[in-house]
Amino acid sequence: MSMRIVLAGSVSFSERTLAALVRHGANVVGVLGLADSASENVSDYARLDTIARDAGIAYADFVKINDATVVEQVRAWKPDLMFVVGLSQLVRDELMSLPPKGSIGFHPTRLPKGRGRAPVAWLTYDGDDGAATFFVLEGEADAGAIFVQEPFAVAKDAYAMDVIESVRDAIDRALDRWLPSLLAGQWNPTPQDESQASWYGKRAPEDGLIDWRSPAAEIYRLVRAASRPYPGAFTFLRDRKLLVWRARVATVPFRGVIGRILHVENASLLVQTGDGLLWIDEYEFVDGAPKLLVGAKLE
């Protein structure tokens, strides 16, 4: 009898994993998807109920993955194996230990490098290449033995959404390569080399605040890392919050006061930074749209 599999997730990476399991004919007996009511602060949120319904798979929403009702639902599904993909909530031992075969997690970095929080934003900010990595889920985050690791490149001018799309494609390649052997019963993950481990720290929406005293190249990195689907880099015009979605380092013969708009061209804003100039190409005010004029100062 084929392995009974449950999947839990909340983002497009979860969606891609579920679609691959269905595509490979896995015996998925239940899907847990994050409820809309708990999705406000989840970037790249994706519902999983449509794929589950179309494939005839039982589905249940959850708010907190470790709630007793969720544990009881998973116990009722009697899984041999559970995938946990795209959750910021840590799965506790009670739930993790229900499937006798084990649980499998996912992370989009070249583990053991880049364990921890906000990996896509950090990959984008640093311009580091990543990898779609499926591993044994255990108590320490992102530290379990690795089943498959499919690398992908991150361009130096990539935005967060570009990296997310690269992760999605890498998930498809990784699962198409590995799922047949997993579903055939093979279980031979490779332990991580702890001497090579590194960690990413938490990023919060307020970390997107632009410091115009920073070099243009550094602000450009921040804009790309904080861009959609994340909350966005931001600055203020007096008391009005301005979100900055796209930018580029400028090489034009202007010089001005740090933070001031020096030129407007086709709605793009040229701003003086602490070192160099930056074009702001896509932006929006959070509450209304006052006209931005040459000489206005961003803070």
Kindly report, residue by residue over 38-97, the tens digit of the pLDDT. 999 999 999 999 999 999 999 999 999 999 999 999 999 999 999 999 998 989 999 999
Q: Which among 185, 200, 215 is the end of a domain? A: 200
Read off the CATH number of the domain in which 73 is found. Answer: 3.40.50.170
Range of the domain at 260: 205-285
| Percentage of residues in the chain having pLDDT higher than 90 | 94
171 and 189 co-located in one domain = yes
Domain presence at residue 290: no
Domain presence at residue 122: yes
Q: Which among 149, 172, 200 is the end of a domain? A: 200
Domain presence at residue 240: yes
89 and 169 co-located in one domain = yes
195 and 256 co-located in one domain = no
Read off the CATH number of the domain in which 274 is found. Answer: 3.10.25.10
106 and 83 co-located in one domain = yes
Per-residue confidence (pLDDT) for residue 1, from 0 to 100:
65
76 and 196 co-located in one domain = yes
43 and 139 co-located in one domain = yes
Task: Name the band, by pLDDT with cuts 50, 70 and 90, for residue 118.
Answer: very high
209 and 64 co-located in one domain = no
28 and 169 co-located in one domain = yes
Global pTM value: 0.95
Domain presence at residue 292: no
Domain presence at residue 144: yes
Per-residue confidence (pLDDT) for residue 297, from 0 to 100:
96
Q: How far apart are CA 228 and CA 234, in angstroms?
A: 12
How many domains are there within the chain?
A: 2
Domain presence at residue 270: yes
19 and 131 co-located in one domain = yes
Domain presence at residue 48: yes
163 and 49 co-located in one domain = yes
Q: Is pLDDT at 24 greater than 70 in this prediction?
A: yes
Q: Is pLDDT at 196 greater than 70 in this prediction?
A: yes
Q: What is the mean pLDDT of residues 247-262?
A: 95
Q: Which among 162, 178, 200 is the end of a domain? A: 200
52 and 169 co-located in one domain = yes
Domain presence at residue 296: no
182 and 234 co-located in one domain = no
Kindly report, residue by residue over 145-158, the tens digit of the pLDDT. 999 999 999 999 99
